[in-house]
Structure formats: structure tokens, C-alpha cells
Structure 1
């Protein structure tokens, strides 16, 4: 296992972190606790020392599970991360309430890396108005949290103001070779690093979509490489090639995945991919774009939409559905990202489109956006959308 230093505190963190959002499940969809415990402890025994969870993961069961999994001396071997569930925070007092409950659920007296969960531009303003910066200062001073950070799921333009809005120790962003221009992107990665923040990466494999299944056109590209790597190895090594990255989180729930990721993490050094290898990854990224249903680059020139449709996110999930053929997963992701539940915002569904045509004049790719949004509605909304919205509310608002 290789380790990288957190810039502000010098912590030596494993470049591979264990994400506890996708633990193995039993037939009734509850955590397969004996198996999950073996997986977590195996990863730790092999050098992983950063473990990440959050209030809503596994319908609120991930944190209590980790409280048990990290018993028997394992808590002392890791840096533990969890997150403030901002969508159910209505007051300054709620922040203490949830943090104290998380300490109890995790069976610990402190959180090593505490994040404000899923910030975007609007929710950051709301949290500041509720007193989140004073909360973080107080919780750090009394020892309940050691390092303060945030995870980000907003537009790229909102990232730098959040970075500059508090004396953060670290941040967590979605980043992979398909997301260089999405959300925080490469620009955000480099900006956060320039401000001295440690950077935790989530969704390095886009929820596993970059590895399973792999389209034949992409397989052909990987097969031309001089040094043969698995699709997961290409994706992870590409991220670790960035020296700004501290830890890459992986939601490992198969023993074979853990074994493979541990092996890859032995070689994840920065600035080691050759120019030809970087060009190969770029070729794979472009091929994925070619086989997309909609040629959206995520530039967001079409935004804002007068009807509040989040056009780039609608098209991103639509493309993922048709590239990776995971219908239920895509529908749930569409609901979580666009219902406005997690971000404490209004809904941004494709069905809100009123065909005003403003986006048509702005799109550099000249995409027929209103027509594409009709296809999004057909494939990702449907009669069960209301049920999915209620499921997401239950997932995120269960206390």
C-alpha cells in the first residue's frame, strides 16, 4: 500500500480508501454483516487506513455497522470519515444533534475527517446562514471532529467560492477520466490543491460503470496498450497519476474487487503514466463520448434553464443508462440527483421542460435539447417516478 500526506496536518493516508456506501447485501437488501465485516477488516489489515461513510448510507445502517466493524482495535488503525446530512439540518442546534448521534452510532469519541455532505452553491449559502462555520470551529475546538471538509456535487462555478469560504482541511469530489469537465473537474481539483486542501476522490469508476460491463469498442482500445491493465487499473492509475489527489475511495463489496484494488494501490504513484498511456485513456474517454446517445460535454452553456431543468445532469444520466445498461440504478440516480431532495432545492426533472428553445441557441454542440429531454422523460421518469421520490426521501430523511 502506498500513502500520501494530507497537506495541512501531515497525516499519512492510504491512497486507497474504503467507501462504505455499497457494502455487500443479503437477499432482503440489508447489509450482509459477517461478510462486510471481513471485507472491511481485510482491507485494513492490508494497509487501508481511511474509511468513509455517511448518515444515509444503507438506509442509515452504514454508520452503526462500522461502529461494530471497527471494534477489537480496528478503530485505532484508521482515520474515520462521515458527513453532516445537510438536507435534514434546519438549525444550528441540529448540527450538534446529528454529530453527537453519529459519534454514538460509530462508537467513537471523535470523527477524524468530518464533511459537510453534498454542498452546492445554494446549500452552502443556506448552511452558512444557519451557522455551519461556527459549528465546525466549535466541534474542532472540543475535539469531536479533528479535520473539517466538504463533499461537492454542484456546478463547477460554485466550487471555488466554497473552497474560499472557510479554512477547510480537505474536500471530496467526484473525479475520473470521464469527469474532467463535470462538477468540480480538473479545474476544481487543481484549485483546491493550490489552496492547500487534501483531496479525496469519490466515484473513481463512476459507480463501477467504467469496469462492468465494458463496451467492446473500449476493450479494443485497452487491448492496444503495451502494458496490459484491467479497466479498473486504467481508471485508478489515471487518478493516482495526479499528484494533487490524496485518497481515492472505492465502494468495494466483492472480495475479488478488494484484492484487485489493493494490488493496484501498490503501484499508484503520481506522474508515472507515460504520454502514450495518457493519450490512450483520452482515446477511451472520446470513444465513450462517441457511443453516447446525446453528445453533451457537460459545458453547461445551456444553463440556467428558465424552467429549472438541470439539462446537463439529465443528459449525463441518460447517457449512462444507454452506455452501461443499468436501468434501475440509472433511474434511482436520476431521482436522487434531480428531485432536489439531497440539495434542499427545487426539482430539476426533464419533464419540466416547456420547449422555450433558449438552450438551443446556447449549446455549442447544437444538440436538439428539447427533443432529447423528451427521451429522458420516456426512459428515466415514467409512472414510478413518484414512488422513487418517496424512496429517496425515506433513505435520506430517516433519522
Structure 2
């Protein structure tokens, strides 16, 4: 993929049709709230990333019960907020719950607006219908857009590419267009229930920004002993991604992200096939992508209350 802009060691890419320039590597917010990362380190990592050229900041309302947003909010003080493209996610499926969570996020992040808010964990076939219901979460984000609290809207999910396609279909039925979509894009996904094969081409066709996550699958891919961290990041950078979001919990991992960005060059067809061949056997059953094959990574399954109540009309249909 040709890079439109390079700032130091960091290439910048365009986010879909928005015209926004974002760093090809984004900082994942979940890791800065880990128990092994204290607040001082978390703030230092965010600021070091920005100082070195990363401007895409990922976060979520539910990460570590809000701790990740609180730490990022502190890091973005003293002029840093103006240097970044700030994204967070909300779990609420109802308008009421989505608005409540968005207000929490704005407060924790210490900002009056978020550049991108995404409907988080679109994992079930009923999720799109709940999001686009008359009093669903999408109505909340449209309202927030009009109020200047949200600039762009997207969605995320890690379970099945067909659910992503269904979300896009339901959005189209409601006359909605997403600015960005986030999904697992890694060297195992290339072979198993593949977002890169099924969803990415449709996003490119619609001009929607492609956001990669779980590029190393929180280290799970490395346990397969088939590929290196740099190869994993280069794989995602080779795809038509706007930003490759990676967890950064130490100075060494931050250096690794910049090394991947600095050394990346698009693969030749031969080199690409050779890279994919390394993980073909290991990827066959989804063993190293547990977020697809189990509920371990499904926060909204553990906490269904985050979604909000089902519509009254539907609950009335359930036999007592």
C-alpha cells in the first residue's frame, strides 16, 4: 500500500472517506490499564507514543472499569489532546445506555468531544437490530454528533466476519454509513473465519476506514511459534488498513511498534504467499484466535447489563 504521508518513522494513512490522516500504527487503550502498568507508566507511554508520531488513540468505556480512559485522559492534558485522533467505544445498545456511557467516556478522557466513537462488540446477529432500533444506540450517536460531542461513527467486533457484514447490511437498510470498522486482522485470521477475506473488500468498496486489532492476539499468535511480532505487524500494515492498533505496555513494545512502521515495505506476491504459508496449519481450527471460538473475550457476555434493557415491546412477547 502506498503511503500518503510519513512523519519521522511513522507513515500516515487516510481514514476512509473522512479525509482524516491517522498514524498507520495506533496505540491500544486496553494495555495501559493493565495491573502490570501503573498510572505513571501508562501516561508516559501515551505521551511518548504521541511525541514520536502516533496520533491514533484507541480506548473503550469498559476497559478496566474505566481506568484506561482515566489514564489516557490524564496523558492527553497539557496540549496533547490537540495532537491526536481520539477514539473510544461504547457497549450500550439502547439510546439511554449509549448516551450514559458516552458521557462517562468524555468525563474520563477530559475532553468535550471524541473524534470517533464505535459501537463495541457487535458479536451477535441481534446486535445490529438493537443498535438501529428507534430508541437504539445509533440514535444516541447521531444526537451526539449534532451536539458536537462525536465527529465520526463506527463499530467493532471480533467474533465472525458474517456478523460484520450483517451490521453493514442493517446500517444500509437504515440509510446509515459508518466511517470506520474495527476487526481482528492477523496472520491466523487469514486462514480461519477470515475478516480480511470477507469484510475488508467490502469496506474498501464502500470507502470505510479499516481498523486492525488483535494483530498479535495479545501474544496468542506468538505462542504458535510460527511468526515474529514484526511479521505480524507487517502483515496488517500490508492490508488496506487505515490504522493497525496494537497494545503497548512497555517502552520495548513501543519501540517494536515503531520498528515495524519504519521497516515496513509492501510484500511481493511471492513473499506474501510465503508469509501466509507459515501460519496455515496452525490457524486451521482457530486455536490461536480464542476471541472467535470462545466467549472468554466477550465483555458484554460477562456483563449483559452494559447493553441496556431490551425494548419493552419485545419483552412483552416473552411468556411469563
Give the TM-score band, short-chain normalised: 0.7 to 0.9
State the shift of 1:287 in Å: 3.8
* Structure 2 residues without counterparts, runs of 5 or longer: 1-9, 308-320
Give distance in 2, aligned partners of 1:13 and 1:192. Answer: 17
State the shift of 1:7 in Å: 2.5
Give distance in 2, aligned partners of 1:246 and 1:75. Answer: 20
Contact 1:174 1:184 in 2 (8 A): yes
Which 4+ runs in 1 deviate beyond 4 A?
Answer: 394-397
State the shift of 1:24 in Å: 6.6
Give distance in 1, aligned partners of 2:131 and 2:242. Answer: 26
Give distance in 2, aligned partners of 1:142 and 1:33. Answer: 32
TM-score (norm 2): 0.82
State the shift of 1:6 in Å: 1.4
State the match for 2:158 in structure 1.
153
Contact 1:31 1:58 in 2 (8 A): no
State the match for 1:237 in structure 2.
234
Contact 2:116 2:154 in 1 (8 A): yes
Contact 2:61 2:104 in 1 (8 A): no
Contact 1:14 1:50 in 2 (8 A): yes
**Aligned positions of 1:243-392 closer than 5 A:** 244-269=240-265, 272-289=266-283, 296=285, 316=286, 319-320=287-288, 334-337=294-297, 342=300, 392=302
Deviations, residues 169-226 of structure 1 (Å, cap 9, x unaligned):
1111111111024263322011111111001100011112223x453xx3xxx7xxxx
Contact 2:155 2:182 in 1 (8 A): yes
For the structure 1 residues 190 and 2, does the alpha-carbon distance in structure 2 shift closer, same or farther, using more than 3 Å as the test? same
Deviations, residues 347-383 of structure 1 (Å, cap 9, x unaligned):
xxxxxxxxxxxxxxxxxxxxxxxxxxxxxxxxxxxxx
Query: RCO (CA 8 Å, sep 6+): is it higher in 1 or 2?
Result: 2
What is the alpha-carbon root mean square deviation over aligned residues?
2.5
- Residue 68 (structure 1) aligned with residue 74 (structure 2): yes
- The number of residues matched between the two structures is 289
Contact 1:342 1:396 in 2 (8 A): yes
State the match for 1:168 in structure 2.
178
For the structure 1 residues 94 and 140, does the alpha-carbon distance in structure 2 shift closer, same or farther, using more than 3 Å as the test? same
Contact 2:16 2:210 in 1 (8 A): no
Contact 1:6 1:246 in 2 (8 A): yes
SS across alignment from 1:249: strand
- Residue 20 (structure 1) aligned with residue 29 (structure 2): yes
State the match for 1:134 in structure 2.
139
For the structure 1 residues 33 and 394, does the alpha-carbon distance in structure 2 shift closer, same or farther, using more than 3 Å as the test? farther
**Aligned positions of 1:92-111 closer than 5 A:** 92-111=95-114
